[in-house]
């Protein structure tokens, strides 16, 4: 039976707890990663988006009622635990951010029970993708995916911070617009008010941001949602987010310079990688002549070489026919 969390207030997230809390009473909430009953002791790993924290239930400390309730805990139960933070001493787990501490439980509330999950909520699983998509809310609990979402959120914050510091205004443009010529087909939305008419979802805010330029907003950006009705490819999705910007009173080098500094800022803050500026530039014709692609992999200097003159008289039809 699920219990109410009324009257409880979470102290912090799991990995925000540290040794400065030792001896203090805290209330933690999250999901049960796993629970191990050792007879007189029950060890429960509590998980939230930040990581894992060990909870220890000892009957002498928490009482028989709480101990018996803890014995029923299963994977993915949602719980609230109140207890005292203590050091794990020589039993420190170096693999966990909270490996030097644990909570000696005093009270437990089961906020929601869970059936057995269709797949383990952990990294490195080999589960059918359709199953993962069906239970997407479970899949997103896995640390690997949760980390990606949090990294994306951090990148979005850094972009907004950088653009604001460089004089850009974040302006949202409409998503229900008139269809305009673009590189792909539009997604159409029927109008209820105007029978037989349709709105188009923007493939990009191109015309809208140009209107902003002539309106006097000389530096604009937004994290724009874009929609393109085209066949799926590895680098193409029907909907995606792009960092969209427009600048007035600049030349092409000014635009490139802003983007280079933005990339340098993001890579440093997210990956702790120093990107050397200016980034190497290459013309389209050089890319095609040397690599046969307009997006060459610069990690490998596998350049194309024109051997037409060498093979034109070789007698091998495949070569001589192209010469």
Q: Are strands 219-227 and 169-170 parallel, antiparallel or unpaired?
A: parallel
CA-wise closest residue to 46 among 31, 57, 35: 31
Series of mean pLDDT values for 10-residue runs along the chain (323 residues): 90 96 97 94 96 96 95 97 96 93 97 95 92 96 95 98 98 94 89 93 94 97 95 86 97 97 98 95 92 88 82 70 59
CATH code for 144-271? 3.30.930.10
- Of 152, 121, 155, 148, nearest to 137 by C-alpha is 121
In the prediction, which pLDDT does 321 show? 65
pLDDT, tens digit, 9 for 90 and up, residues 64-107: 999 999 999 999 999 999 999 999 999 999 999 999 999 999 99
Instruction: Spell out the domain ranges in the chain.
Output: 14-112, 144-271, 282-323
Residue from 77, 80, 64 nearest 7 by CA: 80
Q: What is the pLDDT of residue 236?
A: 82
Distance (Å, rounded) from C-alpha 214 to C-alpha 170?
16
For the chain, percent helix, then strand, then coil, each to nearest 5?
30, 25, 45
Fold of the CATH domain 14-112: OB fold (Dihydrolipoamide Acetyltransferase, E2P) (2.40.50)
Q: How far apart are CA 23 and CA 113, in angstroms?
A: 30
Helices 143-165 and 252-271: angle between axes, nearest 10 degrees = 140
The pLDDT, as a whole number, for residue 306 is 81
| Pairing of β 188-190 and β 198-200 | antiparallel
And the tokens for 8? 């409880």
Query: For residue 299, what pLDDT is reported?
Result: 84
What is the CB-side half-sphere exposure of residue 133 using CA atoms within 13 A? 3
């Amino acid at each position: 039976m699920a219990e109410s969390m009324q009257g409880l207030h979470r102290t912090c997230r799991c990995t925000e707890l540290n040794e400065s809390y030792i001896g203090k009473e805290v209330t933690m909430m999250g999901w049960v990663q796993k629970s191990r009953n050792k007879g007189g002791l029950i060890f429960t790993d509590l998980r939230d988006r930040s990581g894992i924290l060990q909870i220890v239930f000892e009957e002498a400390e928490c009482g028989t009622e709480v101990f018996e309730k803890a014995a029923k805990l299963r994977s993915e139960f949602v719980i609230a635990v109140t207890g005292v933070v203590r050091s794990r001493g020589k039993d420190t787990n170096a693999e966990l951010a909270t490996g030097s501490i644990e909570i000696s439980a005093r009270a437990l509330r089961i906020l929601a029970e869970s059936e057995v999950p269709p797949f383990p909520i952990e990294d490195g699983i080999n589960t059918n993708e359709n199953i993962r998509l069906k239970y997407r809310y479970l899949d997103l609990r896995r640390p690997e995916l949760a980390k990606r979402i949090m990294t994306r959120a951090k990148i979005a914050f850094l972009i907004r911070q950088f653009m604001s510091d460089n004089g850009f205004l974040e302006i949202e443009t409409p998503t229900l617009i008139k269809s305009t010529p673009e590189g792909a087909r539009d997604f159409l939305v029927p109008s209820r008010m105007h029978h037989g008419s349709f709105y188009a979802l923007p493939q990009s805010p191109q015309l809208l941001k140009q209107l902003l330029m002539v309106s006097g907003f000389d530096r604009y950006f937004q994290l724009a949602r874009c929609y393109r009705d085209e066949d799926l490819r590895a680098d193409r999705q029907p909907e995606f987010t792009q960092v969209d910007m427009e600048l007035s009173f600049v030349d092409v080098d000014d635009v490139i310079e802003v983007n280079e500094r933005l990339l340098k800022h993001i890579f440093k803050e997210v990956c702790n990688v120093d990107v050397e500026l200016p980034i190497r530039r290459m013309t389209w014709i050089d890319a095609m002549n040397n690599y046969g692609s307009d997006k060459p992999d610069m990690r490998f200097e596998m350049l194309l070489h024109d051997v037409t003159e060498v093979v034109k008289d070789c007698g091998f039809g495949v070569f001589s026919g192209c010469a």
